[in-house]
Amino acid sequence: MASIIILLICIPFISALLIFIGGRRTERDLGLGAFIASILTVPLLLPLIAYVQSNESYAFTLIESSRYLPFTVGFMVDSLSLILLIAISVLSTLSVLYSLKYVKALHDINSYYSGLLIFMGGMIGVVLASDMILFYLFWEMVLVASWALVTYWGETVESYRIGLKYFFFTHVGAILILVGILWVYSLTGSTSMHGLTYGSNATFSILKTIAIFFVIGFGIKMAIFPFHSWLPDAHTVAQLPITIMLAAIMLSTGAYGLMRFLFNVLPDGVGQSLIPFTLILAVITQFYGAIMALVEKDIKRILGYSSVSQMGYMFFGICSCVGLGAGGSIFHVINHGMAKALLFMVIGAVALAAGTRNIDQLGGLAKKMPLTALACIIGAFSIAGAPPFAGFQSEWMMIGSGFGIENATTLIKILSILSVCAAVFTTGYALWLVKRVFFGPSKSSGERKEVKDPSFCLMFPMLILSVATILVGIYPNLFMPLVKISAELLGLPI
């Protein structure tokens, strides 16, 4: 198992170095090299899945801490990290495959593909690290790699300004997380992410303050209101494969970090003490993201605000501190990742075919892009939480979690009802997007003869995600056993 985990981490980084050095190769060769490197991580997941299902977790130490190294280089895989690994590996591979045809004539194409692999490898390291300092180092690697991809390969002249905004927001969050980590170290004398024993000077008020640092730090990464404004901007300017990785995977690493630190690093009861403050932020985020998605014109920004709203659901599920909500948020890592990646791929195909992302200039494309339209319907219905699509299976758990909070006050009950009501707005912008782009009267951009479904290289990832979204929706037990074990590991059994 240790060798497999090391390979999972090393393959993206070593491949990134080789691709960077091989910059004189053709764009096609570099893209294929990145795709091969990313897809090699997928079969490595199979023995991990088999092991975790029978043994629950596996941990090992590569390098012990010493006077020269103040933290332990150790890794651990359990059901929670495994779910994130599946999402990272599969969706990153599909994003690289999508790049082969979508991204053309970019400057420094070798650096672009190297950046994608470093981005992927950093996220793998984040979910496998068993030491808080090692977690933070991989966290910074993800932030720097994603910032470089957004800034230097942006689609508009605004990319440098928005890249700076993205860097500022995410690194403020990272600093808050680091302060929390160092504070925990001062109280426990350990940087382990598991089994910490707190000293007598760790009063509850101090632990609650540390929890607030973690909630805000990871909340910025999840684009929770009012720390959300970086996300729609970054989604808008980034190349589409980068946007897919940002929306479908990276945001979920924030949810992962929040769950780990709130329930595994901090003692029981600390997370519960932040209710209803966290639930208020969650409900505002749900409504704000959905309403903004209804008023935007750029279809990329519509999906960007959709991601804000969806993170609000995950934040609500996690911060409800009940098993149903935590389990739903864990499951939503997979379901939201598939649906959002699918929708962004659809938007990319539409933008390439119609030559615009302005929803007012689109319409009636279903006749000329029937497969793309079908993929969009599947992704939109899943985001809306409609059965039998995957999103339904996790969304009902998250929005129902508020009703499972013990000794709930009137305010908490009202927030739980409002969270259910937010689903109406989610359905509204999802169906509105499908109708305005693919149905209704054809606009001038939709009447061009060359508008058609994309090539196989772009269509194949959409086909995989469409089938998977339906399959997981009909057979949720493909992931539910792992979800239940993950919730138990957090001390929140379903």
Q: Where are the alpha helices (DSSP H) in 129-191?
A: 132-152, 159-188
Which ranges of the chain have pLDDT less than 50?
Answer: 445-447
**Residue 420: CA count within 13 A, CB half-sphere:** 11
ω into residue 226 within 30 of 0, thus cis? Answer: yes
Instruction: Quote the tokens at residue 54.
Output: 């029978």
CA 78, distance to chain mean position in Å, is 18
Q: What is the pLDDT of residue 9?
A: 93
Any bridge partners for residue 76, and if so which? Answer: 59
27-31: which pairs have CB atoms within 8 A and are 24 or more residues apart?
27/104, 27/105, 27/106, 27/109, 28/100, 30/109, 30/110, 30/113, 31/96, 31/99, 31/100, 31/103, 31/109, 31/113
Report pLDDT for 61: 85
Q: Where are the domains of the chain?
A: 275-494
- Determine the Cα–Cα distance for residues 314 and 332; give it in Å rounded to an integer: 7
Residue pLDDT, tens place only, 186-220: 999 888 988 888 887 889 999 999 999 999 999 99
Query: Using H for helix, E for strand and C for coil, what is the string for 462-484?
Result: HHHHHHHHHHHHHCHHHCHHHHH
Residue 329 CA to residue 309 CA, distance in Å, equals 13
Residues ≥6 apart with Cβ < 8 Å to 74: 59, 60, 61, 62, 63, 129, 130, 131, 134
Strand partners for 57: 78
Largest CA-CA distance found in the chain, in angstroms, rounded: 73
The pLDDT score that the predictor gives to residue 353 is 86
What torsion do the CA atoms of 188, 330, 55, 194 make, to the nearest 10 degrees? 0
Amino acid at 179: V
CA distance 437 to 443: 10
CA 228, 230, 236: angle at the middle one, nearest 5? 120
